[in-house]
Structure 1
Amino acid sequence: MIDQRTRPAETGRMTHMETPAHPKRPLAGVFYAAIWLLFLGFPLVSALSGPAGPGWTTVAVVATVAFAAVYIWLFWVLSGADIGVPPARRVLLVGTLLLAVLAGLATPAAGAWVSAFTPFLAAVLIFTLPLVPGLAAGGLVWLIPSAVATEFSGTLWTLLGPGFGVAVIVFARLMEHNEQRARDAQNHLQVAAERNAIARDVHDVLGHSLTVLSIKAQLARRLLDIDPDRAREELDQIDALARESLGQIRSTVTRLRTPSLASEVEAARTALAAAGIEADVVIGPDVRDDGGDLFAWAIREGVTNTVRHSGATRCRIEVRPGTLTIADDGAGFAGSEPGSGLRGLRERARAVGARVDLRPTHPDGDRPGSTLEVTR
């Protein structure tokens, strides 16, 4: 029978017909298919020991050998082809008809045992065509000839023997189909996870950068009339930040860059100063920048939220080995739902076995503030 392990994925077949001149199929697959040819010994023995004359016996032997050769050739060609393209369809049609003719030529000498040819015809169709048409066509090429042979032989074995072989083929084909569906589902999950990760990265980069750009643009507008030199300086910083953000977007999309802790601390100072928030940054002496990408993303998300939503006057960023804390004295987060940035940060933390906690800075105060803590 045709080895399902060598068939291409149903959802990702080739768009052209592979030819035997460039074989890519493992020899193990051909050997697996060839093993089943031992069952052609039944019609062959029946022809050699039957009452047919030497002529029909010779025809049966030659036809059986030719049947085996054509079967292996069909398996070799069609196992790597897209049956939806005309060349493959022609090969399948001609090859199947040739197998049927060869089986017919062996009938006068082999008698009812010609039904042993039917599982091979069924295998070609079942493993080549799509699932439902293949099972239907394979079932018919076994059932009709075997039923006729049983009528002439008077023994049910000429129907049930090949039927057992077809049942094995159907089971193998269904197993292959289920395995392929499982692989497709896994691929879809991987693609979805990658898309979510890219979307999360783009949000983290854009959310922070656009917030800082907006605040600096508002500051520059206020300074135009009262301090043109300072306004010009702010515009220069806006231009530099816009260029830097463009580079970050490009590298984020290509998954080639994660923010560094040192750069995010400096960016946080700049963003907080532009928003008029006093920054208190404490970096522990044993903190290293390597492996600090989670803390870098957390600083970006935490400071962005503080600048956008808190209305705070003071923000403290403290980085210790294994712990990051961002605390402000703003309005807090009562009644608000976590945004996509915080959800993305928690996903990053779970991926490396870390924990993200969000709580009020002063639970009993009029302005409770908020504290973001990340623990690795």
Structure 2
Amino acid sequence: MALQLEVSLATEKKEKPDFNKLGFGQIFTDHMFVMDYSEGKGWHDPRIVPYAPLTLDPAAMVFHYGQSVFEGLKAYRTRENNILLFRPDKNMHRMNVSNERIDMPQIDEAFVLEALRELIKIDQDWIPSAPGTSLYIRPFMIATEPYLGVRPSHSYKLVIILSPVGAYYAGGMKPVKIHVESKYVRAVRGGTGNAKTAGNYAASLKAQSEAKVLGYEQVLWLDGVEGKYIEEVGAMNVFFKVKGEIWTPALNGSILDGVTRNSVLQLLRDWGLPVHEKRISMEELQQAHANGELEEAFGTGTAAVISPIGELNWNQHQMFINGQEVGELTMKLYDTLTGIQYGEVEDKFGWTVKVL
């Protein structure tokens, strides 16, 4: 039976915030999308309803065994007042990759994407127009069956919520300081590192807190077996420019396949630059830095798009990169990607999807 989307509009609308003073992930729109799954019935009752708390049994399995996945993407308002999504099909597909790993049911990617488009149309007045601002989109799925036993749940809930967010670089782009983690392990091959599941982020929080005490904004994770090969930053994939070539860790089963990472790789190759997806050891990177060959470093992700890295701290050894200034390639990538996202630069790859 084909799913039919039902819509129940809010009778009272929330007061809009000052769109010039938006933070990140603190304000939510008037509506949300919800759909339920039951074993034997499949996905059912897809609906757009007023934003409201969820009611769950205290024994819901998500609370006890952590079956939870999520995604993150954005909607952008152009100067012509159009609304664009950036490669949303990649996010929907990656959600199913995560679902497979956490043993959760697959979603109909096309249907959920169409439901998202309808949700955005309903709450379009929440999309800010100031430079750099956007509407953050958070789809997530949780196990809802009330049962205290270690097995996959027999019921689930898929929800999409929306949040207007401010410009990531409201005060101008500034390189971040990153601590290379040598004590804790985030993921190993065969684990859940390539799934966007809540537990991965919970496992990273302690290291993040300790790095902040040391004065560092984020953590760079190394492989969980030998503790020597670079994997990813807490919320970003990572790239290095060494002697004119671009290095990034190869996807190995414990690294998230980032949508922005994939887009950057396509851009770099389209520009004719030499790109290497490979294993990168910290010793190799430190040697490149000592030789004056490490020219730029940056992270890639939905929130910041491109985040320049100005310092790496590994085993109490500080590596300052490009004079702690934003590199030329880093800036070009940021300008190109954000230009495509906001409809300012030609989208030769067909990445953007028009909602309105």
- Give the TM-score of the pair, scaled to structure 1: 0.20
More helix by share: 1
- Whose radius of gyration is greater, 1 or 2? 1
- Give the TM-score of the pair, scaled to structure 2: 0.21
More strand by share: 2
Higher relative contact order (CA 8 A, sep 6+): 2
